[in-house]
C-alpha cells in the first residue's frame, strides 16, 4: 500500500511541470498564429507599396496614393517591431517549456536515484520556467497594444 501512495505522489509531482508545458503549448500556438498573420500582413502591405512605387515611376501618383504610401510605411515600421515582440514572446515561452521539462526530469531523477538535495534545483528550474512564461505574457500584451496602434493608423490613413 505504501508503494502505491509513493507512485501516486511521484506522478503528481511530475504532472505539475507537464501541465505548464501544455499551457505553454497553447500560448505558443496562439503566438504562432499571430506571427503568421503578421507576416502575411507585411507581405500584403509590401505588395501594395510596390504597386504604388510603380505608379510613382510612371508619374501617375495621386494625392490619395501619397497618403496611402505614408500610411503603409508607418504601418510597416510598426509591424517590424510587432514581429520582434512576437518572436521574443515565442522564445520566452519556448525557454519556459525547456525549464519545465528539465524540472520534470529532475523530479524523475530525484526519485530514481533517491537524491534528496535536488529539491532546490527542481524549484529553481520550475520557477525559472514560470519567469520565462511571465516574460512571454508581458511581451504578448505589449504586442497586442502595438497591434492596436497599427489598426489606428489604418483607420486614420495618415
Give 5-13 contacts, CB < 8 A, sequence gap 24+.
Answer: 10/107, 10/108, 10/111, 13/107, 13/111
> Across all residues in the chain, what is the average pLDDT?
87
pLDDT at 133 over 90: yes
Residue 150 confidence class, pLDDT cut points 50, 70, 90:
confident
How many structural domains is the chain composed of?
1
Is 133 within 8 Å of 92 (Cβ atoms)?
yes
Report the b/e string of 48-73 with b at 16+ CB within 10 A.
Answer: ebeebeeeeeeeeeeeeeeebbebbe
Determine, yes or no, domain membership for 57: yes
- DSSP, collapsed to helix, strand or coil, labels residue 90 as helix
Determine, yes or no, domain membership for 78: yes
Q: Which residue has the cell 511521484?
A: 10
Q: How many residues does the chain have?
A: 158
Determine, yes or no, domain membership for 104: yes
- Name the residue range of residue 72's domain: 22-156
Residue 7 confidence class, pLDDT cut points 50, 70, 90:
confident
- Picking from 21-25, 27-31, 62-66, 93-97, which range would have the lowest pLDDT averaged per residue? 62-66
Question: On the CB side of 146, how many CA atoms lie within 13 Å of its CA?
Answer: 21
Q: Which residue has the cell 512564461?
A: 133
Determine, yes or no, domain membership for 26: yes
List of residues 6+ apart from 115 with CB closer than 8 A: 109
Amino acid at each position: 500500500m505504501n508503494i502505491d501512495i509513493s507512485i501516486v505522489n511521484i506522478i503528481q509531482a511530475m504532472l505539475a511541470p507537464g501541465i505548464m508545458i501544455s499551457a505553454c503549448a497553447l500560448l505558443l500556438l496562439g503566438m504562432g498564429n499571430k506571427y503568421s498573420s503578421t507576416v502575411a500582413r507585411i507581405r500584403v502591405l509590401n505588395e501594395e507599396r510596390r504597386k504604388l512605387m510603380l505608379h510613382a515611376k510612371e508619374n501617375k501618383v495621386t494625392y490619395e496614393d501619397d497618403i496611402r504610401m505614408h500610411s503603409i510605411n508607418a504601418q510597416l515600421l510598426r509591424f517590424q517591431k510587432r514581429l520582434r515582440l512576437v518572436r521574443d514572446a515565442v522564445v520566452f515561452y519556448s525557454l519556459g517549456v525547456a525549464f519545465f521539462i528539465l524540472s520534470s526530469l529532475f523530479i524523475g531523477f530525484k526519485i530514481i536515484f533517491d537524491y534528496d538535495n535536488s529539491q532546490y534545483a527542481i524549484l529553481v528550474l520550475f520557477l525559472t520556467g514560470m519567469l520565462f512564461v511571465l516574460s512571454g505574457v508581458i511581451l504578448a500584451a505589449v504586442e497586442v497594444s502595438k497591434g492596436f496602434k497599427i489598426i489606428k493608423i489604418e483607420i486614420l490613413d495618415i
